Structure 1
Amino acid sequence: MQKADFLEWLREGSISIPAALLTEYKNMHLTEKELVLLLQVLHFAEKGNEFPTPAELSGRMASSAFDCTEMLRTLIQKGFIEIKDGFSPDGIRFEKYSLDPFWEKLIDRFLQSRKQERVHARQVEETDLYTCFEEEFGRPLSPFECETLAMWMDDDHHDPLIIKAALREAVISGKLNFRYIDRILFEWKRNGIRTIEQAKSHGRKFRQHQGQQRKMENETNVQPKPVPFYNWLEQ
C-alpha cells in the first residue's frame, strides 16, 4: 500500500457504535441484514448523505436495491427509522433519514436488560439468604419466619448481605432466633449502618469497648460480667 492510499484509508474515518447494539439487536427483533443496513445509513449520514438511495445502500451490501427498499420500508414500519424534512442553508427543503427512534429503542432495551439482570441477581440473593438461615437453624423455615425475612427486605429495605451479617452476629452471640436478629437490624438501621464494612466496624468497636470494660473491672478486682457478646435485645 502506498502512503497516499494509506492516507486515503485514514480519511475514510471509522464508525463508532455502542457495544449494546451487538448484544441487543436480536432482542430488538432486527435481522443481521437490517442491522447492517442501519449501520450503512449511519455511515452515509456521517459522510454528509442523510438520504442514501436503495441503490447506494445496495452498492455496499450483499443485497439488491429491491431488497434494500423492502428493508427500509420494514424498518420504517417497525419504528426504527423516520423520514424527516431538512432545510439547506439557502432554504431548500430535502428529506433525510432519522435514526433517533432506533437509538431510543436501543436505550429502552438496554435499560430493560439491566433491570432484568438486577431482578435475577436479587432472586439469587434471596434464595441464598433463605438457604443460609435454614442451614444455621438446621431446619426449614416456618411460614412466619419466611414472611419475616421478606418483610426485612421489602418493607424495611435491608440488603440481603446485611441480613446475613445480622444472622452471623446472632450465631456468634449464641442467640439464634428471629427476635434477636430483628433487634440487631433495628439497631443497625438506627445507627445508619448500611454496609457489611460498617456492620463489622460497629461490632469491632463494641467488642473493643467491652474488652476495655472487662480489663478495668479486673484491675479493680470487680467480678466481670459473664456476657461475652453484645446482647442486642437488652438495648
Structure 2
Amino acid sequence: MNARILLASLAFAVVSLAFPAVAADSAQTFVDKAAVGGLFEVDSSKLAQNRAKDQQVKIFAERMVADHSAANEKLKKIASEQKLQVPAQPDAAHQSDLEKLQNTTTGFDQPYVEMQRSAHADAVNLFQSYARDGDNASLKAFAAGILPTLKTHQDMIEKIAAANAAMPAVKSASTPKPPAPVPGANSFTESQAKNRIQDAGYTDISSLAKDGQGIWRGQAKKGGKTISVALDYQGNVFAGQQ
C-alpha cells in the first residue's frame, strides 16, 4: 500500500475513534429529560391529589404518583449502573410550572390537566424517539418498557380533557398531522414549544411568540438555513410558516 494512502487511512481511523457518531439523543441527555419530566409528574400530581376537585383528576393524579415514582426509581438504578448523573431537582421550566400550580387559588384542575397533556405529549415523543434511536442499550430497553404506560397516561388525560371542552387540545400519538398549523387554545409554554421544535430537528430557535390563533411562531435553523417555524396547539411543527 502506498505510504501516503496508509497514513491517510490511519488518520481517518483515529478521527473516527475520537469522534464517534452521535445519536439523536445521547444517554445523558435522555436521562436529564426523563428525570426532570418524572419529577414534575410526581410533584405536580401530589399537589393535584390534595387540590383537584374533579374525582377523575384525583384518580389520574394518584396513578401518576405511583407510576412515575416507580419509573423514576428504575431510571436512577439504570443510570447509576451506566455511570450517568440523574438530576435531583426539576429544571427551571418545570419549576416555573410547579410554582404556577402552587399559586393557583381557584380552578386548579384546568391548568393541571393542560400541563399534563403537554407533559405527556413531550414524554411520549422523548421515550419513543430514544427507544428507536438511543445510544445506550439499557436505556433503550427502559424507554421501550415505559412507553406503553406513558401512552396509557396520555389516553387517560385526553379522556378527562374531552369531558371539559374548555380545556385546549393536544395531539395524541394517533392523530394525523394536518397540512397547516391548526388554530386553537395552546397549552404549551414557551419553553415546551421550544423543546418540541428542537425535537423536530431545528436549532437556534428565536423570536418565539404566540399569535392570536394560539400558534407559536418564530425563527430557527435547519440544514444551515434560517427559516420560519410554527407550532400549533396539537404539537405539530411546521417549516416556512409566516
Same fold (TM over 0.5): no
TM-score (norm 1): 0.28
TM-score (norm 2): 0.28
Higher helix share: 1
Structure with greater contact order relative to length (CA < 8 Å, sep ≥ 6): 2
